[in-house]
């Protein structure tokens, strides 16, 4: 199994790949060259919805359009990316904070975390938006919120704090409310940091290691089962797609990387794909 370029995006900061099964399209965002993109892997066509501010994450809405974590807050967007309604802006200072990683859960809610850009203290947070558009801060004392994913049996939520090199998991009750966190996997410093992730049908967690040039597959117990090199130093997030959900897509970044590194990794910013043995899970939609 080897990653190959699925689309030569050359994105500044590609993120949040999201497979839409009924149209067989891969949605993704570029945070720093702000836009929502839609890729048809069969033809290579990529349509772009330009945004007027950083877009960190999106999820499809059950009634059409998107919910999105933007720099200015959590928004409902129409099918063309137009702003319909600001749900909440829980960030104290959007000059140094924006929404980052996020996704919908099986209960039809949307989870999104922020990034504290100075990275001098754990001032970021994790929020949940319910279908009635109520926004709740679930966790605080985070520096860079990332790696949101949920186990197939709905028992666990996964979440990472990237600069701390750690992935946590939280037990979920019957309503999907998280309990006390525990360390799922601690990575050593200096060989990649856990960024975005996805969970497969066996409950294994796939994590893109930013600045580590690889994606790792972790067992439900947190043990590394496999490591797969990516043709970019900074992979950012994983998503399962394809008609059988056995294609693993990975976005990547080139924004802010040294020129010498980009010369060594010319495919940085592209979207990569790899066939895998175990399928992923259909991506839920936000119920609001």
d(CA 216, CA 208): 7
Taking residues 254-263, what's their average pLDDT?
97
From 22, 195, 200, 264, the catalytic residue: 195
pLDDT at 232: 98
**What is the number of structural domains in the chain?**
1
Q: Which residues sit opposite 29 in a β-bridge?
A: 15, 36
Active site annotation includes 195: yes
Structural domain includes residue 280: no
Cα angle value 264/196/69 (rounded, 5°): 115
Structural domain includes residue 142: yes
How many CA within 13 A on the CB side of residue 177?
4
Task: Kindly state the percentage of the chain with pLDDT values over 70.
Answer: 100
Element spanning 262, H or E? helix 259-264
Q: Is pLDDT of 92 > 90? A: no
d(CA 114, CA 135): 14
pLDDT at 247: 98
pLDDT at 228: 98
Structural domain includes residue 288: no
Q: Which domain holds residue 27?
A: 4-275
Q: Is pLDDT of 66 > 90? A: yes
Structural domain includes residue 111: yes
Taking residues 194-213, what's their average pLDDT?
98
Sheet arrangement for strand 224-229: 193-199, 205-210, 214-218, 224-229
Specify the length of the chain in residues.
288
Provide the CATH number for the domain around residue 108.
2.120.10.30
Taking residues 260-285, what's their average pLDDT?
98
pLDDT tens across 144-166, in order? 999 999 999 999 999 999 999 99
Q: 239 falls in which pLDDT band (50, 70, 90)?
A: very high
Taking residues 190-203, what's their average pLDDT?
98
Task: Kindly state the percentage of the chain with pLDDT values over 90.
Answer: 98
Q: Is pLDDT of 207 > 90? A: yes
Q: Is pLDDT of 143 > 90? A: yes
Taking residues 83-88, what's their average pLDDT?
97
Q: 1 falls in which pLDDT band (50, 70, 90)?
A: confident
Q: Is pLDDT of 181 > 90? A: yes
Structural domain includes residue 282: no
Q: Could you give phi then psi for residue 162, rounded to 5 degrees? A: -55, -50
Q: Is pLDDT of 94 > 90? A: yes
Q: Which residues sit opposite 5 in a β-bridge?
A: 272
Q: Are 2 and 9 in contact (CB under 8 A)?
A: no
Structural domain includes residue 245: yes
Q: 115 falls in which pLDDT band (50, 70, 90)?
A: very high
Mean pLDDT taken over the chain: 97
Structural domain includes residue 32: yes
Q: Are 54 and 67 in contact (CB under 8 A)?
A: no
Q: Are 82 and 109 in contact (CB under 8 A)?
A: no
Structural domain includes residue 284: no
CB atoms within 10 A of CB 277: 8
Q: Is pLDDT of 273 > 90? A: yes
């Amino acid at each position: 199994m080897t990653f190959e370029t699925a689309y030569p995006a050359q994105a500044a900061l590609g993120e949040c790949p999201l497979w839409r099964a009924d149209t067989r399209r891969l949605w993704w965002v570029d945070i720093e060259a702000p836009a929502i993109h839609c890729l048809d892997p069969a033809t290579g066509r990529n349509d772009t919805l330009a945004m007027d501010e950083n877009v960190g994450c999106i999820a499809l809405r059950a009634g059409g359009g998107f919910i999105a974590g933007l720099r200015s807050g959590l928004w409902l967007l129409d099918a063309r990316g137009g702003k319909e309604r600001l749900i909440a802006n829980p960030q104290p200072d959007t000059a140094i904070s924006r929404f980052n990683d996020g996704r919908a859960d099986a209960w039809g809610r949307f989870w999104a975390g922020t990034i504290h850009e100075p990275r001098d203290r754990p001032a970021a947070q994790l929020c949940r938006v319910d279908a009635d558009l109520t926004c709740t801060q679930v966790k605080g004392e985070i520096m860079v919120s990332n790696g949101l994913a949920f186990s197939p049996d709905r028992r666990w939520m996964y979440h990472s704090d990237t600069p701390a090199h750690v992935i946590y998991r939280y037990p979920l009750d019957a309503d999907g409310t998280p309990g006390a966190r525990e360390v799922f996997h601690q990575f050593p410093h200096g060989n990649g940091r856990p960024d975005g992730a996805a969970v497969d049908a066996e409950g294994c967690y796939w994590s893109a290691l930013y600045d580590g040039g690889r994606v790792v597959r972790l067992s439900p117990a947190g043990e590394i089962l496999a490591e797969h090199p990516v043709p970019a130093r900074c992979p950012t997030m994983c998503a399962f797609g394809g008609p059988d959900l056995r294609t693993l897509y990975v976005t990547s970044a080139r924004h802010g990387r040294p020129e010498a590194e980009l010369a060594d990794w010319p495919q940085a910013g592209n979207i990569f794909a790899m066939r895998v043995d175990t399928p992923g899970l259909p991506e839920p939609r936000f119920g609001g």
